[in-house]
Amino acid sequence: MISLGRRTKIATVICVVVVGSLFIGLAVFPAGWLKGIAEQRLSKQIGRPVTIRSVSRESGFSFTPVFRVGGLQIPQAKWAGRGKLASVESLRIRIAMLPALVGRVEPELLSAEGVQLDFVRDASRRVNWRDGDPARGEQGGGISLAAIDRLEANVRYRDALQKRSMSLAVTIDPHRGLVATGQGEIEGNPVGLSLKGPIKAKQEAWPFEASIVGPAVDMRMKGVTIGPLNTSDMTLRMSARANDLKLVDRVIEAGLFGTQPVNVAADVTHRNRRWTIRGLAGTIGSSQLSGNLTVDKSSGRSKLDGDLRFARLDFADLSTDAGQQKAIALVRAEGPRIVPNTRINIGKIKNTDGRIAIRIDQIIGAGNSGLRSAEGVLTMDHRLLIAKPFTLRLSRGTLAGEIRVDQRKGQAEPQVSIALDLRGSSIDALAGGDGAVDATVDGRLRLVGTGSTLREVVGRSDGAIGVIAHDGILPAKLARLLGFDVGKGLFTGEDQQARLRCAAIRLDMRRGVGTASSAVVDTSESQTRATGSVTFPEERIALTLTGAPKRSSVLRLPGSVSVLGTIREPSIMVPRDVKSLGNVLKAVGRALTGKQGPEAADADCGALTAQILR
């Protein structure tokens, strides 16, 4: 009978033998086993059968053996064209066997020769180096370069989504470190490419310099990553000059748009799937830009939080030359319009939320619109964009309120709600002119419609537009003619003035057609009323005016006149029967008999204001 002490000794010896055998097994791990494991794991990760011609050990007994791998082949995805994703003639790797016991297989690259890599991304974001969801994951962790004695590789990259391509020759050696140079194209524009950095271990700070240089786009980066090529944890200084902001976006993929030439710089940090941009400063065309922005992708969506400021902004700088020519051609074809043709379709912004505060200190190049500055906060939540608060400052007065662009259902065109109030403006600030006709102007805009541009939205909208001018002046000649008093109008001096007590119009909108439910021009000399409509997006006027003087008239012409044309270019049409000889003789006869019809009373401007702005 074996005693307990003896049993314990036997068990201990068995454990020592087993553990020792295990360690010996690890130290002499067969290279043939590694070939099968490597093929299986790589095939599962990439989604295609990976083959290896041979695997051999360079060292005998070792817990960190060196393996030589020959003939590694990764087939190309069928949709990506001919050839192979990767082809490696020979490489040497070192594997720490003890961490491999707990699943931590971290091969250390020593050398590689005859490396050919061909990366492809198509227009639908599908990539050939990873199976499954093309938006999944980011590069992280870095690789160790510290032990590399020699590496030579040719890398090719083609991206149909961002219209870019490149071919790089990559070398790593103990003397020069990592050096990658080559050529490429960004949207058809040739560029030279370079990247360099020292040999470092995986977790060490890795300083690097990179550049994309060409006539149309020039981007320079200098910074530090935690581990070589570890773009998931890096800090850098970046500068960018390009003929168009969209060319920069082809590289950084931030969803930017085409502009005039851009020259900007910023400090950038990327850590834990969060991009932080600080000290952004530069120019777009003649416009001066500064600000800060963070982009957090940790939840799988891009969440923005930023503040952008334009010390001065010319809206023409926010479009390309082609875009400007298209806008000019539109004006030539359709004539000048008040409602801008600004695109507001956000259907392509599927995975971006957040908040950006925008401030514009000085607006230039706005023509006679009276725009001087602006500020607001843009909030995006699953394709619901809200501009609130939103304020446009004019040369006199403000236009403020809220705009909502709702495309949450994925429809082709968004539903847009506009709620804006005009306060303390003037006729001169809104329409320009020589100041002969001027008054304080208030307004109210409440519209709901669909469309991809603001002009389309107003042209299909329901709601109401109300504008009232009050406490102003106008030439006395014009005031008397508005009362259809031709006699006093003809004999009134050019320098005489009359009071513009109030002038109001309310358009009840239905599918873009505004019917004038209230339209009055009340002066100290006369009162004119209007009926008819204004049709959007053409901004076509069809109004009929009738007027009466407030005092006895010299020669009052009976009838009405029509206002046609557009808001920007109106025209007054006097009907033939109004200006006929017979009608004039009737007016003369009434003047002689003193029977020229009733005179107008003062309008209740306070009640009219409440009605228009309700």
- pLDDT for the residue 437: 80
Query: How far is it, in rounded angstroms, from Cα 386 to Cα 411?
Result: 17
Whether 393 has a pLDDT exceeding 80, the answer reads yes
pTM score of the predicted model: 0.77
Fill in the DSSP letter of residue 598: P
Closest to 373 (Cα-Cα) out of 400, 338, 405 = 400
- The confidence band for 32, taking pLDDT boundaries of 50, 70 and 90, is low
* pLDDT > 90 fraction of the chain, expressed in percent and rounded: 41
Torsion-angle region of 161 (φ positive above 0: left; ψ -120 to 50: alpha; else: beta): alpha
Preceding amide of 336 cis, omega within 30: no
pLDDT in tens, 273-331: 888 999 999 999 999 999 999 989 888 888 999 999 999 999 889 888 888 888 788 87
Query: How far is it, in rounded angstroms, from Cα 153 to Cα 249?
Result: 28
Per the model's pLDDT, the better-predicted residue between 557 and 189 turns out to be 189
Query: How far is it, in rounded angstroms, from Cα 250 to Cα 246?
Result: 6
Preceding amide of 575 cis, omega within 30: no
- The mean pLDDT of the chain is 82
DSSP code per residue over 202-213: TTSEEEEEEEEE
Query: How far is it, in rounded angstroms, from Cα 222 to Cα 273?
Result: 20
Please report, for the chain, the start and end positions of each structural domain, with discontinuous segments joined by +: 463-612
Give CA separation, 255 vs 246, 328, 377, 587, in Å: 8, 26, 19, 68
Per the model's pLDDT, the better-predicted residue between 400 and 31 turns out to be 400
pLDDT in tens, 247-263: 998 988 877 788 999 99
pLDDT in tens, 339-368: 888 888 988 888 889 999 999 999 887 555
Structure tokens that stand for 132 in this block: 């499954």
pLDDT in tens, 441-459: 999 999 999 999 999 999 9
Average pLDDT over residues 372-391: 94
Terminal alpha carbon distance of the chain: 106
- The confidence band for 373, taking pLDDT boundaries of 50, 70 and 90, is very high
Question: Three-class SS of residue 456?
Answer: helix
Identity of residue 297: K
- pLDDT for the residue 60: 66
pLDDT in tens, 569-604: 777 665 454 444 444 444 444 444 445 555 768 889
Query: How far is it, in rounded angstroms, from Cα 148 to Cα 150?
Result: 6
Whether 477 has a pLDDT exceeding 70, the answer reads yes
Structure tokens that stand for 480 in this block: 């008397």
